[in-house]
Structure 1
Amino acid sequence: MWKVVIIDDDPRVLKGMKNAIPWEELGAEWAGESMDGEQGLALVRRTQPHIVLTDIYMPVMNGIEMIELLRSEQYDGKIVILSGYSDFNHARQALRLNVNDYLSKPVTIQTIREVLGKVIADLEGEQLKHAEQRQLEDKLLMYEPFVMKEWIKSVLTGTVTPELARLKEAEALRAKWEKQSHVVLGLHINRADKKPLNAAADQSEGDGAALIGVLSAVLLEEEQLDCEFIELHSHHKAVIVHYDRDVPVDEALKQIRGTCLRMIRRAASFPEYNVCVGVGTVKPNWQEIADSAEEAFFSIAANYSLQSNDSYMVEYSAVANRPMTMAGARKSVGHIKFCQQLLEGLQHSRLEQVRTAIEAYREKLEDIALAPQDIVMLGTEIWAILAYSLYDVGIFLDEMFPELDLKQQLSPISTSGQLLDWLLGKAELICGSQQWDENLKHKQAVEFMIQYIHEHYADNITIQSLSNELFISRYYLGQIFKKATGDSFNHYLTKVRIAKARAMILEGKLLIYEIAEKVGFKNVPYFSTLFKKHTGLNPTDLLK
């Protein structure tokens, strides 16, 4: 119920208003009355009403003085003035004090009903908006590990949106980063037989997943290393390393080189792959992390040979002065950022976003003379990234372009402009061919599924049970969910369970088998196997 107080020095007005206002109809209740501004001030302070109906000319303290004091005390309720005088100066003061309406007496009950109805409608709208905001904040808090992951990835790729830039969850991390220096390690993972990495419906079982788990484990073992491992796309991964600014750069780089070499040595147990690690330069400001990332991948490209099957580490400082080839073009035009923008546009069928990204990339490439072989290599790499990453959201380029001979199509292309024209043509076909219905019903269905997973991860959840709840076929619901999140339903559920389990393990209050049960696993060995697959560590390793 909306609480209303009435302040007027005329007892007839008080009695008449109290009896005539249709309280029940308006969903309101009378919360008190007073006959001067000083008593009215005390009444409002005591009852904290949603609405104040007040006169202006009253003994002891007038209505304007009372309102000024209330507003100075941050009272944000609605105020309606009922005055027997029409005074322009008072009306102007009322406007300054954020009064919701100014009515001259005598006023009819119908007018009062209409004014109160409008004020209450405004209150209900604000209440709904606050409820939605709280719900969004609760949801962001619930999904914080995943939201933060996207924020960190956007910093790395230089694609921070206004929404992500204002993300409250990142405030503490930004404050910490302000006191640190940063360097990015770029990881380029290739098959030794030169074939592109294959994606899989479940990323945890994709090509190179076991190797990536081992590389992640190396970072977790480095107790003194403050870092984040970021999945980019296909054969590109990255690590952002942070260290205190009072640590000498040479000392920090020595530790980083040691970590890189350990990753390469561990990768040697996977002879079907080679791992190239590029090291960007140290950046004193976290806003420059994306620059260090471009340098890291530039270092790999500048040193990369199609004939080499070796894993290696290379630092940007060692190759920064190489001639402007395709590798140089990558860094100067922001290749990592371009690939990320292109992927995001294609994943959501946003053709204008795709065109904008391609045109910005075209403008930066115009002044760079690339050899034909560099252009073919660039086109091949971009297409491989698209094929791998779009697979995860249900867009299969090999099915969409079954007769595509990439080498044959790229061979006649001799300029970067021609390459981007070719790429734009393919992007238009990809966006035009997507049949997913992204209407409100589907958006709400995915939000319901995500919320349900985070609230019931300990239960035996199946996509079939949610299909029954939402009246959408199991198969189609799976497609909608994968399109929106980039994950299959089961993989997303497992990620949530593992994230919750990891937090419980680090809290140290429960035994491993208790945690397994609390996150929905009855079989402890199976839980341990999945935990290691997703984190690179056994659950007990976190307790050491």
Structure 2
Amino acid sequence: MWKIGIVDDDRAVLQGIRKAIPWDELNAEWAGEASNGEEGLEMIASASPDIVITDLYMPVMNGLDMIEQLRKNTGYSGKVIILSGYSDFEYARQALRLNVSDYLSKPISLPTLKSVLNEAISDLEEREEMRMKQDELLQKLQLYEPFVEKEWVKSAAAGALLQSGLQSEIPEPYRYWTDHDHTVIGIELVYDQRAAKLSLPDWSLLRFAISNMACEITQAAFPRFDHTDLHTNRSVIIIHHDRTEPAERVRQRLEQLGVRLIDCVRNYLKLKIRIGIGERKSCIRDIGISTEEAFRAIDVTSRPAVPEHELYFYSAQEPGNAEAKSPVRPVKLYLELAGAIRTSQEHQAQTIIRNYMKRLEQEGGITKPYVSMLAGELWGIIAFAFYETGTVVDDIFPYDGITREMAKLQRPSELAEWLITKIGLVFGSREWGGNGKHRQAVDFMIEYIHEHYAEDLTLGGLADKVYISRNYLSMIFKNMTGETFNNYLTRVRVEKARELLMEKNALVYEVAEKVGYKNVPYFSTVFKKFTGMNPTELVK
């Protein structure tokens, strides 16, 4: 409801205007009245009316002086309407300078008063609507700010940052990077027999579990670090260490960290990972090179590993590395390709593939086994990117058929056309339901679940955060993840509970509380349903 205040030294005018205003029709209420400018300032300060109707010629302080103090000293932004018994051009000019909404002469007819107030209220409504839109936009920007920052970290890891090097480009939480050296640890989840049997939802949860484990272990060894997933089975940890720390000491600490990561993933998750460690870089723009080196160390099977572990260090001094050409940056390629698919940019995805394969053709020396390996890796990235948008490519292309087709590919150009054809068929199929806005909402929900699983999460609460109705959001989430919101939340909680139980540092009821369950019997029932065992079996 809009509030209207009146300032006039004539009591009859005050009472007459108050009676004449159609309050209910305007959805307005009386805010207060005053008989001069000084009283008017006090009334406006206490009642905060949206509209002030004021006379000009008044004792103590006239109307223009009051308006000037309102605008300059108090920042009053409401509507001011002058109602004067005199038509004075100079006063009208000054009123215009003070952003007065209207200048009316007494006496005023009821239709004119109603029309002027209607116009003022209409302007206020438009202003309020604009303010609400701006507030909503600000909330959304604040909501997605963490995702923007995480994408910046991913871009840094992939070597995709802009080249200007301006300090202002670095998000505030990462400004300290400029005072540290950086080393990238590349983590690759191996597709062994157990991993090959996993469904995409299980694969997604395992990535989440490995991410949690990597962060917890790294935190103890290197307090300053960032972890980010790159695609399907690869992620990186960017270590930020003191520039004065000796290289040999850093290498020893990195080796200890890598060995512990490999052992923990093997013992707790029964999965196998390979770890490559790039060289130390002093410039943020070179972090992407360290990432390439980390995965090159993994890919070169002839490189010696740390005894009994698949942990490899890259070194430019090793044979063949010093003379190696500049990397084609496949990590950046994979990141851009997955991003194009997630955002429904079919043409962009095709261009990325063609350009990359063309470069491989030009470099020469590409063998058929390498093409097969690359085909498998790219197809995995493409399949997972489509899965993140709610499309299961295995439902469109049987896995056995894809494997046979990949085995026949011999040249990068053949691989390019094969991938482009498959992508086109998926985009054109009825299975494709990608939507950028919906994808952002579901991405936010998944990230929020992973970070707040121990809290009392509801679909309605998240619907309020992403500005989508509860029922519609439920449908979007199910379409894009293949699971209901409650089922996905439960799976995340159970996965985290399993990690905590296997550490054997907490009792069952303590673990239940840590993952969001207050009822221990119910927690045990849910845990057994998802894992096939009772939680007590893991703490023995």
TM-score by length of 2: 0.69
Pair 1:234-2:232 in alignment: yes
Q: Name the SS of the counterpart of 1:263 in structure 2.
A: helix
Pair 1:349-2:344 in alignment: yes
Counting only pairs closer than 5 Å after superposition, residues 63-74 of structure 1 correspond to structure 2 as: 65-73=65-73
The separation in 2 between residues aligned to 1:71 and 1:9, in whole angstroms, is 21
Q: How many residue pairs were aligned? A: 493
Deviations 1:43-89 (A, max 9, x none): 33333333334456666656555445444456353223436445685
Matching residue's letter, 1:401: F
- Tell me the C-alpha RMSD between the 2 structures: 5.4
The separation in 1 between residues aligned to 2:263 and 2:523, in whole angstroms, is 29
Indicate the residue corresponding to 1:385 in structure 2.
381
Q: Judge which range, 370-379 or 17-26, deviates more.
A: 370-379
Shift of the 401–239 alpha-carbon distance from structure 1 to 2, 3 Å rule, reads same
Shift of the 245–276 alpha-carbon distance from structure 1 to 2, 3 Å rule, reads closer
Shift of the 225–81 alpha-carbon distance from structure 1 to 2, 3 Å rule, reads same
Shift of the 61–458 alpha-carbon distance from structure 1 to 2, 3 Å rule, reads same
The separation in 2 between residues aligned to 1:359 and 1:347, in whole angstroms, is 18
The separation in 2 between residues aligned to 1:340 and 1:38, in whole angstroms, is 65
Report how far residue 525 of structure 1 moved. Answer: 7.8
Indicate the residue corresponding to 1:120 in structure 2.
124
Report how far residue 238 of structure 1 moved. Answer: 1.3
The separation in 2 between residues aligned to 1:500 and 1:102, in whole angstroms, is 67
Report how far residue 15 of structure 1 moved. Answer: 3.7
Q: Name the SS of the counterpart of 1:323 in structure 2.
A: coil
Counting only pairs closer than 5 Å after superposition, residues 420-431 of structure 1 correspond to structure 2 as: 420-431=416-427
Report how far residue 236 of structure 1 moved. Answer: 0.8
Q: Conserved in 2, the CA contact under 8 Å of 1:200 and 1:391? A: no
Report how far residue 31 of structure 1 moved. Answer: 1.5
The separation in 2 between residues aligned to 1:39 and 1:311, in whole angstroms, is 82
Q: Conserved in 2, the CA contact under 8 Å of 1:56 and 1:81? A: no
Deviations 1:7-42 (A, max 9, x none): 456655544432222222222222223344444333
Counting only pairs closer than 5 Å after superposition, residues 26-425 of structure 1 correspond to structure 2 as: 26-54=26-54, 65-73=65-73, 75=75, 77-82=77-82, 84-86=87-89, 89-90=93-94, 93-94=97-98, 101-105=101-105, 108-126=112-130, 128-129=132-133, 132=136, 136=140, 152-153=153-154, 155-157=156-158, 173-177=173-177, 179-191=179-191, 197=196, 199-203=198-202, 218-219=217-218, 222-244=220-242, 247=245, 251-264=249-262, 273=272, 275-285=274-284, 289-301=287-299, 303-304=300-301, 311-315=310-314, 317-318=316-317, 321-324=322-325, 328-331=326-329, 335-355=330-350, 357-358=352-353, 368-369=363-364, 371-373=366-368, 374-391=370-387, 393-402=389-398, 404-406=401-403, 408=405, 411=408, 414-415=411-412, 419-425=415-421
Shift of the 387–109 alpha-carbon distance from structure 1 to 2, 3 Å rule, reads same
Report how far residue 246 of structure 1 moved. Answer: 5.6
Shift of the 527–214 alpha-carbon distance from structure 1 to 2, 3 Å rule, reads farther
The separation in 1 between residues aligned to 2:239 and 2:121, in whole angstroms, is 58
Q: Conserved in 1, the CA contact under 8 Å of 2:229 and 2:235? A: yes
The separation in 1 between residues aligned to 2:455 and 2:442, in whole angstroms, is 19
The structure with the larger Rg is 2
The separation in 1 between residues aligned to 2:481 and 2:160, in whole angstroms, is 18
Q: Conserved in 2, the CA contact under 8 Å of 1:85 and 1:104? A: no
Q: Conserved in 1, the CA contact under 8 Å of 2:9 and 2:34? A: yes
Q: Conserved in 2, the CA contact under 8 Å of 1:274 and 1:310? A: no
Indicate the residue corresponding to 1:24 in structure 2.
24
Report how far residue 186 of structure 1 moved. Answer: 0.9
The separation in 1 between residues aligned to 2:208 and 2:9, in whole angstroms, is 78
TM-score by length of 1: 0.68
Q: Conserved in 2, the CA contact under 8 Å of 1:190 and 1:235? A: yes
Shift of the 264–409 alpha-carbon distance from structure 1 to 2, 3 Å rule, reads closer
Is there any run of 5+ residues in structure 1 with no aligned partner, and where? 162-169, 503-507
Matching residue's letter, 2:510: I
Indicate the residue corresponding to 1:166 in structure 2.
none
Q: Conserved in 2, the CA contact under 8 Å of 1:501 and 1:519? A: no
Shift of the 65–385 alpha-carbon distance from structure 1 to 2, 3 Å rule, reads same
